[in-house]
Structure 1
């Protein structure tokens, strides 16, 4: 790999905003597209059975789109608040709605508290990395490390064929994983998590332990 690809990079504000927006759109475009498909089925004069299937598709996809938008609102946005703290109960709600499904469950062991905004946003981004480490599903366990405004987190995921997402450690450190030394829409999420960690004065580690992948931010 070229030396330039091993050096940390800095994105200007416009590029960072564009890449984060692209990531959010990627997360919601699939369920929104499914809603459109369901509506088109109904508009085409579907029979009763097909119409019921279309309605079920619309209901499930609308729920999924809502869950993803609510999660992204906190993980990537300003959380609709001018304050400097976020309630961990709000983070628990959006995380559970976002990740809980027939393949994956969230074991949330974070006590209710108002924590600095960037720390909570970092936690949600660590959950995204954790979920990416268990592509076939599993358990995402979330714990706190320390207490008060200096609270850190441990996200430990367990699942079949768990693995550290490609270039996650480099991207968390602000180092691109490609030979071009650039950050694209696929890499922006772990890169953004690293930005949040540094803004919060925290260090993130990721390691594979047996059938688990552990992320820690302290």
Structure 2
């Protein structure tokens, strides 16, 4: 496989497409709920529409807050991010009726690329359990360098075939599209943070490790 490099404009456009994909569904549901309130006289239907709007507004807000930390600048160059803030947005984005998030991490300030990497690893973790399950996060810190272990468990757990190549910057297809931009971006962040990422599958469990490269350990 040959490593590829995206033009900065293409990278920005693909990341924007990813964020829009995440928020379009709840925003569309809000619009639908408002239309029902405008036209519907039945109180039970109006109540249903109001519940839909509330739920979708919370979901859209959670997804935007997550995207701000996972993909955005999150402060000036060299800024640090509170892992407590990362936990908050992660829970809002991930935890639902199908997936449970367990967070085993001290509340510390870490360089922003390390925190952005952790959040992006959680997105990959979610993709390994397409039918839902559990996501267990463990963070250890030594000399301002974090090491991350994310373990997922669920029925039909898997490592999506394209993810390892995208993480390495060498996709099998030789190209990156909006569907693959998130794991590709995760690889960029990992290299910028000085961390190596590996994924292993064992039965109904996937383990994702992010550890300092030997020269940075």
Query: Which category of TM-score, normalised to the shorter sequence, fits these structures?
Result: over 0.9
**Please, which of 176, 189, 195 is the counterpart of residue 188 of structure 2?**
195
Per-residue CA distance 1:131-185 (angstroms, 9 max, x = gap): 110011111000124423221101110111100023111100001232xx11000
Cα root mean square deviation, aligned: 1.0
Structure 2 Cα separation of the partners of residues 34 and 146 of structure 1:
41
- Which aligned runs of 4 or more in structure 1 are off by greater than 6 angstroms? none
SS in 2 for 1:151: strand
TM-score normalised per structure 1: 0.94
In the other structure, the counterpart of 1:49 is 44
- What is the CA-CA distance between 1:72 and the residue it aligns to? 0.4
Structure number with the bigger relative contact order (C-alpha 8 A, sep ≥ 6) is 1
- What is the CA-CA distance between 1:200 and the residue it aligns to? 0.7
In the other structure, the counterpart of 2:22 is 27
Match status 1:105 vs 2:100: yes
SS in 2 for 1:213: strand
**Please, which of 4, 11, 35 is the counterpart of residue 9 of structure 1?**
4
Structure 1 Cα separation of the partners of residues 170 and 187 of structure 2:
10
Per-residue CA distance 1:24-56 (angstroms, 9 max, x = gap): 000000000000010111111331111000000
Aligned length: 210
Gaps of 5+ in 1: 1-5
| Aligned residues of 2:132 and 2:155 also touching (Cα < 8 A) | yes
TM-score normalised per structure 2: 0.94
SS in 2 for 1:203: strand
Gaps of 5+ in 2: 212-217
SS in 1 for 2:186: helix
